[in-house]
């Protein structure tokens, strides 16, 4: 089922896991997750926005990396469909979803001084909102971890074409960042979902291939890339929030 994974691109700042990760260059996702279980156990975490890729990883991890922790960033502006899926996930897989919120005082100051839609004014304002609601909570979520797993795929957008299986996350102290679905296509993802009856966000059936905060996400047109519905008023090269810096 799993397509082969690409060669890894790791900086030498991670000594022990470096050679081990390189050895996984042709391994299927199941083997990558099994290695995460052996190497890190509960010291690794899966970051989930509860998009379809993350649901695939959660489903695979329950069998191949059961110690992997799952966390999400609740920005306070998620669509109700996302909260519904989180509950379905908790009940179906019997897992705790660690939830990290933005700092209350920073959100209060942002909205009190700049309003509720400051992120639409310009790129800098949008990045400030993302920094408060996402980037800072992620920093807390990754504190004390040794590795984290994401659902990034190269095919998702022009900002992700260089995504590799493994990276050094210099933004968070040099821990290991793994992207097991890097080479998967959209068809691969949905084939797995259908074959394994994996639950997914109802918004996917309404034309939302990528789902984030409700005010910043819309459905896409058939000819648009998967992240065209994120911050659609900006240029495509700006379709990241800061969680995954573009290199």
| C-alpha dist (Å) from residue 1 to 52, 150, 156, 187 | 16, 19, 20, 11
Q: In the numeric block, which tokens belong to residue 238?
A: 């700006």
Q: Where are the beta strands (DSSP E) in the chain?
A: 44-47, 69-73, 97-100, 147-149, 166-169, 175-178
Q: How far apart are CA 168 and CA 147, in angstroms?
A: 9
Q: How long is the chain?
A: 247
Q: In the numeric block, which tokens belong to residue 86?
A: 């989180």
Query: Which residues are designated catalytic?
Result: 241
DSSP letters for 56-94: HHHHHHHHH-TT-EEEEE--S---HHHHHHHHHHHHHHT
């Amino acid at each position: 089922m799993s397509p082969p994974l690409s060669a890894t691109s790791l900086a030498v700042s991670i000594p022990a896991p470096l050679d081990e990760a390189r050895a996984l260059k042709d391994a299927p996702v199941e083997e990558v997750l099994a290695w995460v279980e052996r190497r890190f156990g509960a010291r690794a975490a899966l970051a989930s926005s509860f998009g379809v890729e993350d649901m695939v990883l959660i489903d695979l991890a329950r069998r191949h990396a059961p110690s992997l922790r799952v966390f999400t960033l609740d920005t306070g502006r998620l669509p109700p469909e996302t909260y519904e899926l989180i509950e379905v996930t908790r009940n179906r897989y019997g897992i705790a979803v660690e939830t990290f919120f933005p700092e209350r005082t920073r959100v209060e100051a942002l909205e009190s001084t700049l309003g509720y839609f400051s992120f639409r004014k310009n790129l800098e304002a949008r990045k400030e909102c993302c920094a408060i609601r996402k980037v800072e909570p992620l920093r807390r979520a990754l504190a004390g971890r040794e590795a984290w797993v994401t659902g990034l795929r190269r095919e998702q957008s022009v900002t992700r074409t260089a995504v590799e299986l493994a990276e050094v996350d210099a933004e968070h102290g040099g821990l290991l960042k793994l992207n097991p679905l890097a080479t998967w296509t959209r068809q691969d993802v949905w084939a797995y979902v259908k074959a394994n009856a994996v639950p997914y966000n109802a918004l996917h059936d309404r034309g939302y291939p990528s789902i984030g905060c409700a005010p910043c996400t819309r459905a896409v047109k058939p000819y648009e890339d998967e992240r065209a519905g994120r911050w659609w008023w900006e240029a495509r090269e700006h379709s990241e929030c800061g969680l995954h810096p573009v290199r």
